[in-house]
């Protein structure tokens, strides 16, 4: 029985056609590219971020930090960002450590490709997010907000 499953798996693997494409990532809270994804595509990017402020006694671990990108057209993508944060507060004594976990505010947005031509090697996109106060008081701003970025890249 195991031999039949093994042979069937190999046949299925060899008969599959694969499509390869280059992806350009927008790692949440790390970098934003000037490219949009193709129309009808969905791209999910996730990662881990460790944040420590020099003078603060707070360390934060964002895991997972997730970005959903949905291609509406070849020049417009819809974006959803959310993060789960583990905050560690450390006092002056080692005995005083408090760990709090929760979800950060939800961000909804879009990226608009403003310039992308084969003749020139510069790309420009406008990125905008609305921050919706969905988090608890410990992890959110309790107010609506807007994040706007102009993303520019140049290939040499």
pLDDT in tens, 23-72: 677 765 567 888 999 999 999 988 888 888 766 677 888 888 889 999 99
CA distance 137 to 125: 33
Q: Which residue has the higher pLDDT, 15 or 113?
A: 113
- Torsion sign over Cα 43, 49, 53, 57: positive
- Torsion sign over Cα 110, 114, 116, 122: negative
Say yes or no to pLDDT of 79 above 90.
yes
94: left (phi over 0), alpha (psi -120 to 50) or beta: alpha
Say yes or no to pLDDT of 112 above 90.
yes
Specify the pLDDT at position 10: 72
Helical (H) or strand (E) element with 17? none
Token pair belonging to 131: 């921050």
Helical (H) or strand (E) element with 44? strand 42-52
The three-state secondary structure class of 84 is strand
Specify the pLDDT at position 22: 67
Confidence of residue 75 (pLDDT cuts 50, 70, 90): very high
């Amino acid at each position: 029985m195991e031999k039949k499953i093994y042979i069937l798996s190999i046949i299925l693997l060899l008969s599959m056609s694969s499509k390869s494409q280059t992806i350009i990532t927008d790692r949440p809270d790390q970098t934003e590219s000037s490219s949009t994804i193709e129309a009808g595509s969905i791209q999910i990017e996730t990662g881990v971020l460790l944040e420590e402020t020099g003078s603060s006694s707070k360390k934060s671990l964002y895991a997972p930090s997730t970005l959903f990108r949905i291609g509406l057209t070849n020049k417009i993508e819809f974006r959803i960002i959310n993060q789960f944060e583990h905050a560690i507060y450390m006092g002056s004594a080692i005995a005083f450590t408090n760990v709090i976990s929760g979800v950060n505010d939800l961000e909804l947005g879009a990226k608009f490709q403003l310039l992308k031509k084969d003749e020139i090697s510069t790309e420009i996109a406008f990125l905008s997010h609305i921050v919706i106060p969905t988090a608890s008081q410990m992890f959110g701003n309790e107010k609506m907000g807007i994040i706007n970025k102009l993303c520019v890249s140049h290939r040499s």
